[in-house]
Each structure stands twice: as structure tokens, then as C-alpha cells.
């Protein structure tokens, strides 16, 4: 591409893996192209590598226009290769995390489940989702809603890492949907702690009036007023104890089903799928349902 216009046109069409901008011969045009690329909200995520002359002024100027990496003329080829590889790793890391929670996104979630499927250890995939979140956003604001999502992400991360450390993974699917993966034996402890902590914290995200009442009146899709309870969290749990999964999509599909079942129940709960691949495996055909109180009673 010879001009900044051509660079932007190509980047807006396809969002390339990497933009290499040669600013050695025509430094002003090259730096202007990099500046335009990084200023646009859609193309700004494309990693930009700028080639410059071997002088300090050109080197600094490239970073001033937000280049992600700058290579001086005459740099050893082996070093260039290492810098490009590192740049692409950084780009992938930044792309795969959710911007508001800094948790891994969909691609990393699928990769983690695939990694677990390749191993021999028993694991549980847990799909967490907020109940009555849309109504909360409508009553308060998207800013308050984002705060609640960050609170939930912090609870999930701290509880999972606090109980199972590096053996746990927490990802952010999007919105108020999260998925965490933990060893099977930790399901009860982890999910119970998440439910308990969330129920203790979430009332304080409401006004004193709503908190004291335990509900508020909101409008449904048809504009009718109805009583809306405070937010709760629902967790659907799937394990490989009685099932043989061959692809992450199978885990995701079943976890979504279990999450939907959990959301049909009142309060903050976690439901564990007890079904198996065959009829002989189905000693408990119905899922197990737990909330904080039921787990404490079992103990």
C-alpha cells in the first residue's frame, strides 16, 4: 500500500493481523498513516510496526504516533524476528481479554476447555450469569451495571484463585456472562462461596430504599409494571465425571443448558448436571440444586 488512505481502507475492510509501515523513505507520510490507523476505534487494535531510519528523532517520532513496535534501519534480522513474534503475542493477549474486567475472553475460554479435555483430570465448567441484570441497568444506569459486572468478576476471580489457585481458570464471555473451570472436587466449596459473597455484597449496589424493600417496580417489555427482586447469581455446572466430551462446544452447550435451568429457580443457586452419556450412567437423572443455605445444611 502506497498511501495512508490505502492502509486505512485495507484495515477497515479486514482488520489485518499486523500492519508494517515503512517510514524510512517518506517519514511524514508513514507516521501519518500510523497515526490514523491507531486513532480509529476499529483499526486501533491492529498492531503497528514502523520501520524508521537509524536516528533517535525518527525512533521517538514513531512512538509519538502510537506505534506498537519500532525497528531501526540496520537492525539484525534475527532481532527483528524476535520483536515481531513478541509484538504478535502482546496483541493476542490484549485482544483475547475483556476490556472491562481484564479476564480472558471467548477464544481463551475455548482453549482452556480444550486443554482440560486433552488431560486425564476431572474438571467442572461453571457458567455464571446474573438474574434481573437488565432491569437493574434500566433502573440505574449502564455505568452502575458495569460496576456490578466488575464486582462479579472480582468475586469469581478471588474465590476461584483463593481456593484452587493455579488449578482454576476464570473467563468473561461477555456482558454478565462468565465461565470458570475448576477441579471437580472443589465445585461445592467454590460455588457456595461465590453465591454467599455475591448475596452479601449486591444489596449495597442499590439505593437504600430499594435495598430495604428488597425489590422495586420496573417495566417489562410491554410497558407493564411488575415487582423486580434484587439481583441474584445463577451458576450452571457441567463435569466430565459421567460424560465423555470431544469438543469444547459440547461443554459450552451443556453448561448453557444448566445455567438456563438455574435461572428458572428463585434466588442465587448453582445446579450440577448429574446425567451421563448413557442410560446406565443416569443414577441421578435430575440435576442437583444448591444454594448457600442447602450447602450449609449438608455440612
pLDDT of residue 278: 65
pLDDT of residue 286: 59
Quote the CA–CA distance of 159 and 157 in Å, as a whole number.
Answer: 6
Short-list 20, 30, 24, CA closest to 52: 24
pLDDT of residue 299: 42
Burial per residue of 204-236, b for 16 or more beta-carbon CB atoms within 10 angstroms, e otherwise:
ebbeeebeeeeebebeeeeeeeeebebbbbbbb
Short-list 200, 152, 151, CA closest to 179: 152
Range(s) of the chain covered by CATH 3.40.50.2300: 4-96
Domain 106-298 - what CATH class?
A: alpha beta
The architecture of the domain spanning 4-96 is 3-Layer(aba) Sandwich (3.40)
Residues, the chain: 299
Q: Which pTM does this prediction carry?
A: 0.79
pLDDT in tens, 60-117: 999 999 999 999 999 999 999 999 999 999 888 777 788 789 899 999 999 999 999 9
pLDDT of residue 7: 84
pLDDT < 50 regions, the chain: 280, 295-299
Range(s) of the chain covered by CATH 3.30.70.270: 106-298
pLDDT of residue 296: 44
Asked whether the beta carbons of 47 and 90 are under 8 A apart, the reply is yes
pLDDT in tens, 4-33: 888 888 888 887 889 999 999 999 999 999
Amino acid at each position: 500500500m502506497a498511501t495512508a488512505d490505502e492502509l486505512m481502507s485495507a484495515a477497515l475492510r479486514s482488520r489485518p493481523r499486523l500492519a508494517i509501515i515503512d517510514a524510512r523513505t517518506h517519514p511524514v507520510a508513514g507516521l501519518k498513516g500510523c497515526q490514523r490507523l491507531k486513532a480509529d476505534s476499529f483499526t486501533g487494535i491492529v498492531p503497528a510496526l514502523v520501520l524508521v531510519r537509524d536516528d533517535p528523532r525518527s525512533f521517538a517520532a514513531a512512538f509519538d504516533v502510537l506505534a506498537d513496535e519500532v525497528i531501526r534501519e540496520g537492525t539484525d534480522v534475527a532481532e527483528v524476528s524476535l520483536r515481531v513474534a513478541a509484538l504478535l503475542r502482546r496483541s493476542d493477549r490484549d485482544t483475547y481479554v475483556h476490556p472491562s474486567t481484564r479476564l480472558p475472553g471467548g477464544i481463551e475460554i475455548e482453549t482452556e476447555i480444550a486443554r482440560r479435555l486433552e488431560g486425564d483430570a476431572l474438571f467442572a465448567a461453571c457458567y455464571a450469569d446474573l438474574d434481573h441484570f437488565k432491569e437493574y441497568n434500566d433502573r440505574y444506569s449502564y455505568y452502575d451495571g458495569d460496576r456490578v459486572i466488575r464486582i462479579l468478576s472480582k468475586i469469581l476471580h478471588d474465590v476461584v484463585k483463593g481456593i484452587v489457585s493455579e488449578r482454576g481458570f476464570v473467563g468473561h464471555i461477555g456482558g454478565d456472562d462468565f465461565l470458570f473451570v475448576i477441579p471437580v472436587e472443589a465445585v461445592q466449596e467454590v460455588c457456595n462461596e461465590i453465591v454467599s459473597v455475591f448475596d452479601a455484597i449486591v444489596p449495597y449496589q442499590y439505593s437504600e430504599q430499594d435495598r430495604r424493600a428488597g425489590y422495586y417496580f420496573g417495566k417489562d417489555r410491554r410497558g407493564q409494571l411488575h415487582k423486580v427482586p434484587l439481583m441474584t447469581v445463577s451458576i450452571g455446572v457441567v463435569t466430565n465425571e459421567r460424560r465423555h466430551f470431544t469438543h469444547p462446544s459440547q461443554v459450552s452447550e451443556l453448561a448453557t443448558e444448566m445455567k438456563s435451568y438455574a435461572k428458572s429457580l428463585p434466588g442465587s443457586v448453582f445446579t450440577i448436571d448429574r446425567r451421563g452419556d448413557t442410560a446406565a450412567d443416569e443414577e441421578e437423572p435430575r440435576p442437583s440444586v444448591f444454594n448457600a443455605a442447602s450447602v450449609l445444611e449438608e455440612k
